Structures are given as C-alpha cells and as structure tokens.
C-alpha cells in the first residue's frame, strides 16, 4: 500500500512539474536593411541622433543580441534563410533573381500545423505566392513607400504585379494592417504574425512628419568615410562606393521619368565641389534620409506595443524586432550590403518576452539567422525538423553565460567585379574570407570573374576591419586555425560548391 501511495504521489508531482506551458503569441517584426548603426542601442556615433523610443522599450524589457549574423547579406536570400532555417545552397535561393518554391518546408507551415493562426503582412519579396500562412497581405516585389499596393489571396499575381492601393506611408499602413489582424484573432488560440516593413530600403523615403528631423544637424562621419580603393589596408575588392548613390541621385534629377525610382529631399547640388566634398555632402543627405525612414518604423513599433497593451495581449506575446541584414552607412566609403564585413553581415536583434526572458540584458552569443526559426519553434513547442540547419538559442537568452556557436559561416553568391562572390568564417575574435570571384551560373551574377584573394581581420584590435592581416606573419597560426575552421564549417553545412583552397601568403 505504501508503494502504491508513493507511486501516486510521484505521478502527481511529475504530472504537475511537466504541465505544458502556455504557448505565446509570436510577433516577428523585420525591417529591410535597418542596420544596427541606426538603431541607437548599439552605440556608435549616430546613437544620439536616431528616433528609437519603441526600440529602446523592447531592449529595456527584453534581450538584445550583439553577435547575430546573416548567412548571405542580401534581401531575398536572407529572407529565405530565416523562413526555412536553411542556407542558400539548401533552400535554392541564392541571389535576388531566385524565388522560394511554394512547396518548400517553412516556418509558417510548421506553426500552422501546430495550431497557430499564421499571417504575413508587408514585404514578402520571394516572388512565388506565400505558403503556410492562413492570411497574407504583401507588397508586390519591393513595393513602394507611398500609397502602397498590397495583395492578398483574392488578387494574387506573381512578382511585382497585383494588389490594391492602401492610402498612406508604407510603414504606417503595414503597422495598421498588423494591428487590425491581431485584434481579429481568437484570444484562445495563439497567433504567429510576420510584420515586414519595406523601410529602410533605398530610396529611403520618409513621411512628412519626419521631414525636419536632423534638419540643421551635422552628423558625425565614420572614420573610414574617405577610405579610397585600393588602399594600404589590403582590401581586395572595390565595393559599392557611396559615390555611386550620388550618381543615382544626379541621374534621377536629369531624367526622373526614365529612372527606376525617385528620391526624397531633391534637388541635390554638387557643382563646384571636389570629390571629397561631394562624398561628405552625400553622406549627410544619405544618412539623414535613412534615419528619417527608420523613425517611421519606430513609430509603428510604439503603436503596435500600445495596441497589444490595450488589448491585454502584450503579456503573452513574444516580440522580436530585427532586420534582414546590415547595411553600410558610409563605412569604408560604402553604402548597400552584400559583403561579409561587420556593418553588412551583422543583424540587429531584440526580443521581448518577460514571462521567460530577463529584461534589459545584452547577449554576446555568436549566432546565425538560420537559428531564428529554431528559436521560434522552440517557444511554439514544435520539434525542429531534421532539414533545418539552425539551433534554438533560448537557453543562451535565459543565461548569458552560456556560449553560442564557435563560428558563423557566410556565403555570398551574387558575384560582381566590385563585390566578388565569397565565403568565410567568423569567430568571436577573427574573420577569414575567401573571395573566389565566379558567377557559377547564378542568376543576377556577372560573368566577369575576378582574381581569387584572401582577407583576414583581427576584430579585437581592428573592429572596423581597416587592415587585412593576411600577410602578417604574427597571425600565421591564427590564420591557419581559421582556415581549418572554414573547411570544417563548409563541410558541416554540406556546401560542396567551390572547395576551400590551400592558403597562400605574399611576403610584404
């Protein structure tokens, strides 16, 4: 009898201790190109100038990641990686020219199968019709900033076609549509919503209410703004120079009807200025436009938080805000993204869920964008499919002393002579990049190959990656270790296209 009683008590205690936790609503908010330098919570010279009260609230009530990196820093491939938990060579989306196959296993399908109401509102950009979502309302292609078209299952057309006009500024429309969808959900059933802003993608438009933001302010410049090419740093590629954005503005002014987009704050005058003065003036306009564009996202984060709070849903809603990749804001004289350098490959990320996570903490774990769906599935109590390559980092969020990855792996496929195709690995301290410089038949890639080259950076002593140490004998052992890590990581992720070559060093 005693044994039976003890068994009953043990069963009761065990049953109570393993009662399933309530699954949260999950709101995944993602911007386009909204780089960490413009968030104001990552420090840097621009931090005092950005409008970020919504982002700051998320950070103060949640956890901010310092070392999350994308696996392919360009919009379409990065979004595919986040949705599938697989790298480009596994999900079939390598470049801007690719589309995500509708029959691909994705995060939304898994969430819906697990009982979540699922939706995506805003930027989709993966061309084929979204699958796995109970509801979608998405921009055709890149979409437009003012009076955006949004398409649903009722008026779907492929790519840039289809949709109905919604009056207003894109970020405001997407924010309002997201709030309306969440308000319509059954409170007894969890929801998974992906709110994807078009901002802060070029041409960096902003609503009228932010037109005077920073109007009479001289923004501080990055120390590498005037970095020329080639330089004594040993950088082996030209990159997308800020001067090219200036040329786009001037071409647009010359013939607005024939240019692919329009730009805010025109006209832009450069007559009588030398090349240095032009780059400095271009930087001021570019970054002010970018910050104003980002301010509208922050407005809508505040609005969404207020709506969730008013409806009583905030407490049980896990909220993530991130960007699909980073972006150069004049660093190295660049704009745009694509490269494995820090400003381009780092993804800003903040997560708020006080029911499970600490508040106001930073986390330095080394993570990759393919880990994001694994985290979301963890919270939804859904088993991670074997096909997904990422890992949940929920434990690291709860306990910052736990380590993430030893290395991140990166590969950029859309080759061009100025921004060659490359792959590489990053540890907490070092980064090794191999530019193989070939199109390999990829869509949107240039057929003009470039000479292969190596770059190596010590991020502890050179966080701005100004000096390629590849031929510095003091780093020979570290380079050899990173080279082996590159071989190992490439094999681990089953990326068999283009073998890692033997190292070669050039005596200075």
Picking from 74, 44, 47, 46, the residue whose alpha carbon sits closest to that of residue 286 is 46
What dotted CATH number matches 409-492?
3.30.1120
Residues in the chain: 508
Given this model, what pLDDT does residue 508 score?
47
> DSSP strand E in 94-205: where?
117-122, 135-138, 149-150, 164-165, 191-196
Rounded distance between C-alpha atoms, residue 18 and residue 313, angstroms = 25
Q: What are phi and psi of 419, to 5 degrees?
A: -135, 80
Residue 398, token pair as written in the block: 């709860």
Rounded distance between C-alpha atoms, residue 191 and residue 445, angstroms = 39
Rounded distance between C-alpha atoms, residue 228 and residue 152, angstroms = 47
C-alpha angle 138/141/144, rounded to 5°? 80
Rounded distance between C-alpha atoms, residue 387 and residue 83, angstroms = 13
Given this model, what pLDDT does residue 6 score?
33
Instruction: Give how far the C-alpha of residue 209 lies from the chain's centroid of Cα atoms, to the nearest Å.
Output: 26
Interaxial angle between packed helices 371-379 and 75-84, expressed in degrees from 0 to 180 and rounded to the nearest 10: 40
Given this model, what pLDDT does residue 131 score?
98
Neighbours of 49 (CB within 10 A): 17
Ramachandran assignment for 154, one of left (phi > 0), alpha (psi -120 to 50 degrees), beta (any other): alpha
DSSP lists the bridge partners of residue 336 as 328
The answer for residues whose C-beta is within 8 angstroms of residue 182's C-beta and 6 or more apart is 25, 27, 191, 193, 307, 308, 311, 313
Given this model, what pLDDT does residue 231 score?
66
Task: Classify the C-alpha dihedral 261-267-272-278 as positive or negative.
Answer: negative
What parts of the chain have a pLDDT lower than 50? 1-18, 508
DSSP lists the bridge partners of residue 363 as 65
Q: Which CATH number, 3.30.460.80, 3.30.70.20, 3.40.720.10, 1.10.260.40, labels domain 23-209+282-406?
A: 3.40.720.10
Given this model, what pLDDT does residue 9 score?
33
0.75 surpassed by pTM: yes
Domain locations in the chain?
23-209+282-406, 409-492
Given this model, what pLDDT does residue 506 score?
62
Given this model, what pLDDT does residue 233 score?
72
């Amino acid at each position: 009898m005693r044994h039976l009683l003890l068994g009953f008590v043990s069963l009761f205690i065990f049953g109570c201790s393993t009662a399933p936790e309530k699954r949260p609503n999950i709101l995944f908010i993602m911007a386009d190109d909204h780089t960490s330098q413009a968030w104001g919570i990552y420090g840097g010279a621009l931090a005092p100038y950005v409008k970020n009260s919504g982002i700051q609230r998320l950070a103060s009530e949640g956890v901010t990641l310092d070392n999350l990196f994308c696996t392919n820093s360009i919009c379409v491939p990065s979004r595919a990686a986040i949705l599938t938990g697989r790298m480009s060579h596994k999900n079939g989306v390598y470049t801007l020219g690719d589309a995500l196959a509708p029959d691909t296993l994705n995060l939304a399908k898994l969430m819906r199968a697990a009982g979540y109401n699922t939706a995506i509102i805003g930027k989709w950009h993966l061309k084929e019709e979204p699958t796995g979502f109970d509801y979608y309302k998405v921009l055709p292609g890149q979409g437009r900033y003012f009076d955006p078209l949004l398409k649903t299952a009722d008026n779907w057309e492929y790519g840039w076609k289809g949709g109905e006009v919604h009056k207003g500024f894109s970020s405001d429309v997407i924010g309002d549509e997201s709030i309306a969808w969440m308000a319509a959900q059954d409170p007894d059933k969890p929801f998974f919503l992906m709110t994807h802003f078009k901002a802060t993608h070029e041409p960096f438009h902003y609503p009228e209410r932010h037109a005077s933001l920073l109007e009479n302010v001289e923004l501080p410049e990055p120390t590498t703004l005037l970095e020329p090419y080639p330089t004594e740093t040993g950088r082996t590629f030209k990159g997308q120079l800020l001067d090219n954005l200036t040329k786009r503005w001037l071409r647009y002014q010359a013939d607005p009807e024939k240019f692919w987009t329009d730009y805010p704050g025109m006209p832009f005058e450069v007559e009588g200025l030398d090349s240095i003065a032009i780059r400095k003036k271009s930087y001021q306009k570019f970054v002010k436009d970018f910050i104003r564009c980002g301010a509208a996202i922050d407005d809508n984060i505040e609005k969404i938080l207020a709506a969730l709070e008013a409806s009583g849903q905030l407490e049980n809603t896990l909220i993530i805000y991130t960007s699909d990749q980073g972006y150069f804001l004049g660093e190295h004289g660049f704009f745009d993204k694509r490269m494995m350098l820090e400003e381009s490959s780092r993804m800003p990320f903040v997560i708020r869920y006080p029911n499970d996570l600490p508040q106001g903490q930073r986390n330095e774990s080394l993570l990759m964008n393919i880990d994001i769906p694994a985290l979301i599935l963890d919270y939804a109590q859904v088993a991670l499919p074997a096909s997904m390559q990422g890992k949940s980092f929920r434990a690291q969020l709860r306990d910052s002393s736990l380590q993430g990855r030893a290395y991140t792996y990166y590969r950029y496929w859309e080759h061009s002579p100025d921004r060659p195709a490359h792959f590489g690995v990053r540890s907490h301290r070092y980064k090794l990049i191999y530019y193989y410089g070939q199109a390999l038949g990829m869509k949107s890639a240039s057929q003009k190959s470039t000479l292969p080259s190596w770059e190596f950076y010590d991020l502890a002593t050179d966080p701005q990656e100004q000096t390629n140490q590849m031929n510095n004998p003091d780093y020979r052992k570290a380079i050899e270790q990173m080279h082996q890590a590159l071989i190992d990581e490439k094999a681990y992720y089953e990326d068999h296209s283009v073998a890692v070559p033997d190292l070669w060093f050039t005596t200075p």
